[in-house]
Structure 1
Amino acid sequence: MIMKKMNSTLLIGSIALVLAACGNEPASPNPQQLSPQAQEQKGASAGATTTSFQSLFQNSVFLGDSITEGMSFHDVLDEGNVLAGAGKTAEFALKDIDELSRRNPKHIFIQLGSDDILWPTDNPKEYSLKNYAKLIGLIKEKLPQADITLLTVTPVTSEAERQEPRYGKINEYNQGLKELAGKEHVGFIDLSPIFSNGSDLYDSDGIHFKPEYYTRLLDLLKDQVK
């Protein structure tokens, strides 16, 4: 998965991060064709959006794996608002409780499972959700005033699923996650609306995402922190 700090031992081989730009429509100028003034205005607009999100989510922490880590990797949120890493599972995230407590956020968004479903055990879903429940319990104990929201595992492209068939379990895992959220009385957000318009949000591996995905994600979540 995204290699910012270390290679994930759960995936076969290493996945190179390629920040390729989306293909432009024929009638639309590419960035090289924009006038300097237009490029400056476009950059200012993107910067304003990022600044707005950083302010809005300043009391939040996103806990997760390398997909979540993309928020700070792409500078959409500050590193202090992201507690994530490549290969992280619900079990591994249990070790982050002390650091999470130190940051003392008002809102905690958890997005784990993309690595969990690849875990080499007889029932990865059952194993993961058991540790997910432990994680929620510890957060409630250490940060009783914090709001906890679970985010669904994001889909992968058909090519990525062809290469790794276990990604075909994502919908089943997300259903289990929804049931867990209900049982633990925490928030639950289905991220599928982000992908409903068919935009090309994926990076070259079909698993991770370009910066646009993260701005859409935060736009979807902004009402949770108001």
Structure 2
Amino acid sequence: MYSAGLALVIAANISGTAFAGTRFPGALPETVDTVQWGPGAELVGNTVKKESTDSKSEETSLSVPGDSQGPVAGDVMSSTTENRSDYYRNLDVSLLDAEHLGILGEYFKDSVIIGDSVAENFQRYNLSTGVGDVVSDNFTSLAVAGYSIKKALLPNDGSNIHPMIKGKRYRLPEAISLTGAKHVYSFFGYKDLNDTEAADNYEKLLQEIKASNPDADITVISTTYMTKAFQNEEYNNDKVRALNEAMKQKCSDNGWGFIDVQDIMSDGEGNLPEEWSIDKQIHYNYQYYIYWVNEMKRSALEKLGI
């Protein structure tokens, strides 16, 4: 069920400057065509070259949304699967020590985000508010505004919106190979909600990606809610929940990761809070991508068993 009242608790912990429309200090997103590399990175041939950057994110007084005083990494945990899952789910990632941060920094090297405009905005968070974080500093973006699962499956005939690298478009399996990504994080769903074959097509796309990138692991980030007022008969939060449930099972079947932020990013009633949304529809203000970052860290720590 939903995390009832979570949004209200979070809102109470956020300073008055952190509302819809707020712009955060830091580097503006720099892009190579539709590809967005991590801070100071560029593609030279087929290699990502890191350069220094003078851009620094300013410290803010914001409480980290969604973080409770849970266990700290390294605390003793039970060996049972259920208790291990609870341990990582409640882990306070704001209190990670230098050792764990260093391990995560190595883990997230060569990570890529694929998907639509919501995924595209994740990289904008990474290049501004997120600069200096072990997750944000290691991501390349192949996300494209207007992208969908169905469009991602189309052939590369020049009349589509596949990711562009150095002036040339590539389907996702090839584009990911060019980045040398070891970890693929995927966020799709909104534009496919009215497609009864969306989950099957999503699985097919990810299987194609895995076939072309056998050494890369794949993690699906659950589709997040839209605001209550933006719903209609064809596109609504019931369909978001149905797609997420189907993809959670498909990820389990295929050995992929699944990061569930559906109810964490909820008003407690199964909708995206309007005050979080930059357009009162599906897009959220950049600071709320901290939810993605925190869950990525928890997922990685659980996978690493530390």
Q: Give the SS at the match of 1:125.
A: coil
CA distance in 2, matches of 1:185, 1:58: 21
- Partner residue, 2:192: 116
Given that 2:124 and 2:286 are in contact with CA atoms closer than 8 Å, whether structure 1 keeps it comes out as no
Judging changes above 3 Å, is the alpha-carbon distance between structure 1 residues 101 and 85 closer, same or farther for their aligned structure 2 residues?
same
- The sequence identity of aligned pairs, in percent, is 28
- The equivalences for 1:123-134 within 5 A come to 124-126=195-197, 128-134=198-204
How many equivalent pairs are there? 179
Q: Distance in 2 between matches of 1:113 and 1:78?
A: 26
| Stretches (4+) displaced over 6 A | none
Selected match of 1:167 from 224, 231, 236: 236
8 Å Cα contact 1:65-1:87 kept in structure 2: yes
Q: Aligned residue for 2:91?
A: none
CA distance 1:204–1:186, shift in 2 (3 Å): same
Q: Is the 8 A contact 1:63 1:111 kept in 2?
A: yes
Letter in 2 for 1:96: L
Contact 2:113 2:139 in 1 (8 A): no
Q: CA-to-partner distance for each residue in 1:101-145, whole Å, 9 max, x for gaps? A: 111211111111111114xxxxx132x222212212122212111
Q: Is the 8 A contact 1:58 1:81 kept in 2?
A: no
TM-score (norm 2): 0.51
Distance 1:173 1:109 in 2: 17
Cα offset for 1:30?
5.1
Gaps of at least 5 residues in structure 1 are 1-23, 32-38, 119-123
Structure 2 residues without counterparts, runs of 5 or longer: 1-10, 19-24, 26-56, 65-100, 131-135, 154-170, 302-306
CA contact (8 A) 1:129 1:176 kept: yes
Deviations 1:8-52 (A, max 9, x none): xxxxxxxxxxxxxxxx98xx6659xxxxxxx9xxx6225xx9xx9
What residue is the counterpart of 1:44 in the other structure?
58
Whether 1:188 aligns to 2:264 is no
Q: Per-residue CA shift, 1:151-170, capped at 9, x if unaligned?
A: 111001101115x6522311
SS at match of 1:44: coil
RMSD (CA atoms): 3.1
* Corresponding residue SS for 2:214: coil
Query: What amino acid sits opposite 1:100 in the alignment?
Result: I
Letter of the 1:108 partner, please give it: V
Residue identity matched to 1:83: L
Indicate conservation of the 8 Å contact 1:110/1:151, yes or no: yes
Q: Distance in 1 between matches of 2:221 and 2:288?
A: 14
Deviation of the 1:61 alpha carbon: 0.5
Offset at residue 193 of structure 1 (A) = 4.7
> For residues 137-152 of structure 1, what are the structure 2 equivalents within 5 Å?
137-152=207-222
Alpha-carbon shift at residue 73 of structure 1 (Å): 3.1
CA distance in 2, matches of 1:150, 1:161: 23
1:83 matched residue in structure 2: 142
Aligned counterpart for 1:136 among listed residues 206, 220, 225? 206
Deviations 1:73-115 (A, max 9, x none): 3434479611111221123224221111111211111111111
- 2:228 matched to which residue of 1? 158
Aligned pairs for 1:70-109 within 5 A: 70-74=121-125, 75=127, 76=130, 77=136, 81-94=140-153, 95-109=171-185
Give the letter aligned to residue 290 of structure 2: T
The aligned amino acid for 1:104 is G
Look up the equivalent residue of 1:125 and give its one-letter code: T
> Relative to 1, partners in 2 of residues 1:115 and 1:182: Cα closer, same or farther, differing over 3 Å?
same
Alpha-carbon contact 2:116-2:147 (below 8 Å) kept? yes
TM-score (norm 1): 0.67
Which structure shows the bigger proportion of residues in helix conformation?
1
Query: Secondary structure of 2:219's match?
Result: strand
Structure 2 CA distance for partners of 1:218 and 1:80, relative to 1, 3 Å: closer
